A and B are shown apart, each in its own frame.
Chain A
Amino acid sequence: MSTRPSKSGTSASGPGSLRSLAWLLLPLIGLGLFLVLLFRSDPLALLSDMAPPLEELTVEQTLLDDNGITLWVRADGSEPMHIAQIQVDGAFWQFSQTPAGPIDRLDLVRLDLPYPWVAGEPHFITLITNSGTTFDHEIAVALPSPKASAEQFIGLAVIGIFIGLVPVALGMLSYPALRRSGSGSLQFLLALTVGLLVFLLIDTLGEALELADEAAGAFKSPTLVWAAAIGTFLLLLVIGRRKGEAPTGTGLAGYLSLGIGLHNLGEGLAVGAAFAVGETALGTFLLVGFVLHNITEGIGIVAPLVNKRPATWVFVALALLAGLPAVFGVWVGAFAFAPQWASLFFAIGAGAILQVVFEVSAYLSRRSAEAGGSWLSLTSLSGFLVGLAVMYGTALLVTA
Chain B
Amino acid sequence: MKFFKSLKTKITQIKPVNPVRRRLLGGGFLAGGLVALTASGSARAQSHDNHSTPEGSATAPKDPAAQEKMRMQHGGMTTVGEVDHARNGFHPVEMLTDWDRGVASTLPDGRTLREFEITAEDKEIEIAPGIFFPAWTYNGRVPGPTLRVTEGDVVRIRFTNNSSMPHTMHFHGIHAARMDGVPGAGEAMPGEEFTYEFDAKPFGCHLYHCHSFPLKRHMQKGLYGAFIVDPDPEKHRDNPADYAVARSRLLGTPENDHWQEFIMVMNGFDTNFDEENEIYAVNSIAHAYSNEPIRVDKARPIRVYLVNVTEFDPINSFHLHGNFFDYYDHGTTLSPTLRIVDTVMQCQAQRGIIEISFAEHENGNYMFHAHQAEFAELGWMSLFQVEGEDA
Using a CB–CB cutoff of 8 Å, the interface residues on chain A facing chain B are 65-68, 82, 84-87, 90-95, 113-122, 126, 128-134, 140-144, 146, 151-152, 154-155, 158-159, 162, 206-207, 210-211, 270-271, 274, 279-287, 289, 395, 398-399
Query: CB distance A118 to B48 under 8 Å?
Result: yes
Question: Given A132-B269, A133-B272, A140-B11, does the pair A92, B3 have CB atoms closer than 8 Å?
Answer: no
User: Which A residues touch B352, using CB under 8 A?
Assistant: none
Q: Which of A68, A129, A155, A395 contacts B37 (CB 8 A)?
A: A155
Stretch binding the partner chain, chosen from B124-132, B208-216, B342-350: B124-132
User: How many Å from the CB of A355 to the closest CB on chain B?
Assistant: 23
Q: Which of B17, B70, B272 contacts A116 (CB 8 A)?
A: B70
Of all chain B residues, the one with the shortest Cβ separation from A275 is B4
User: How many Å from the CB of B7 to the closest CB on chain A?
Assistant: 5
Q: Which 5 A-B pairs have the closest CB atoms?
A: A132-B271, A283-B26, A84-B130, A119-B45, A91-B377
User: Which A residues touch B30, using CB under 8 A?
Assistant: 158, 162, 284, 287
Query: CB distance A92 to B8 under 8 Å?
Result: no
Q: How far is the CA of A146 from the CA of B8 in the complex (A)?
A: 19
Residue pairs across A and B with CB atoms within 8 Å: the count is 185
User: Which A residues touch B271, using CB under 8 A?
Assistant: 128, 131-134
Stretch binding the partner chain, chosen from B77-85, B90-98, B186-194, B354-362: B77-85
User: Which B residues touch A283, using CB under 8 A?
Assistant: 23, 25-29
Query: CB distance B27 to A284 under 8 Å?
Result: yes
Of all chain B residues, the one with the shortest Cβ separation from A271 is B4
Q: B1 in the interface, Cβ–Cβ < 8 Å?
A: yes
Query: CB distance B29 to A284 under 8 Å?
Result: yes
Cross-chain pairs A/B with CB under 8 angstroms, 5 sampled: A114-B73, A144-B45, A274-B4, A281-B11, A282-B26
Q: B6 in the interface, Cβ–Cβ < 8 Å?
A: yes
Q: How far is the CA of A90 from the CA of B372 in the complex (A)?
A: 12
User: How many Å from the CB of A270 to the closest CB on chain B?
Assistant: 5
Query: CB distance A131 to B22 under 8 Å?
Result: no
Q: A-facing mask of B271-310, CB < 8 A → 1, else 0?
A: 1101000100000001100000000000000000000000
Q: Which of B349-389 contact A (CB under 8 A)?
A: 374, 377-379
Q: Which of A66, A118, A282 contacts B49 (CB 8 A)?
A: A118
Query: CB distance B41 to A120 under 8 Å?
Result: no
Q: How far is the CA of A66 from the CA of B47 in the complex (A)?
A: 8
User: Which A residues touch B27, using CB under 8 A?
Assistant: 283-285
User: In the complex, how many residues of chain B place their beta carbon closer than 8 angstroms to a beta carbon of chain A?
Assistant: 66
Q: Which of B8, B42, B278 contacts A119 (CB 8 A)?
A: B42
User: How many Å from the CB of A258 to the closest CB on chain B?
Assistant: 22
User: Which A residues touch B44, using CB under 8 A?
Assistant: 65-66, 144
Q: Which of B28, B80, B374 contacts A90 (CB 8 A)?
A: B374
Query: CB distance B21 to A120 under 8 Å?
Result: yes
User: How many Å from the CB of A130 to the closest CB on chain B?
Assistant: 5
User: Which A residues touch B40, using CB under 8 A?
Assistant: 151
Query: CB distance A144 to B41 under 8 Å?
Result: yes
User: Which A residues touch B34, using CB under 8 A?
Assistant: 155, 158-159, 282
User: Which B residues touch A65, using CB under 8 A?
Assistant: 44
User: Which B residues touch A289, using CB under 8 A?
Assistant: 3
User: Which A residues touch B48, using CB under 8 A?
Assistant: 116-119
Q: A-facing mask of B5-20, CB < 8 A → 1, else 0?
A: 0111001100111110
User: How many Å from the CB of B371 to the closest CB on chain A?
Assistant: 15
Q: B2 in the interface, Cβ–Cβ < 8 Å?
A: yes
Question: Given A115-B73, A141-B16, does the pair A280, B278 have CB atoms closer than 8 Å?
Answer: no
Of all chain B residues, the one with the shortest Cβ separation from A96 is B80
Of all chain B residues, the one with the shortest Cβ separation from A67 is B69
Q: B86 in the interface, Cβ–Cβ < 8 Å?
A: no
Query: CB distance B49 to A119 under 8 Å?
Result: yes
Known interface pairs A91-B374, A280-B7, A283-B29; 6 further A-B residue pairs with C-beta atoms within 8 A, sorted by A's residue number:
A84-B128, A93-B76, A114-B73, A118-B48, A118-B49, A281-B7
Query: CB distance A279 to B77 under 8 Å?
Result: no
Q: How far is the CA of A78 from the CA of B76 in the complex (A)?
A: 32
User: Which B residues touch A287, using CB under 8 A?
Assistant: 30
Interface-central residue, B22, B40, B378, by most chain A CB under 10 Å: B22
Q: How far is the CA of A86 from the CA of B16 in the complex (A)?
A: 26
Query: CB distance B4 to A280 under 8 Å?
Result: yes
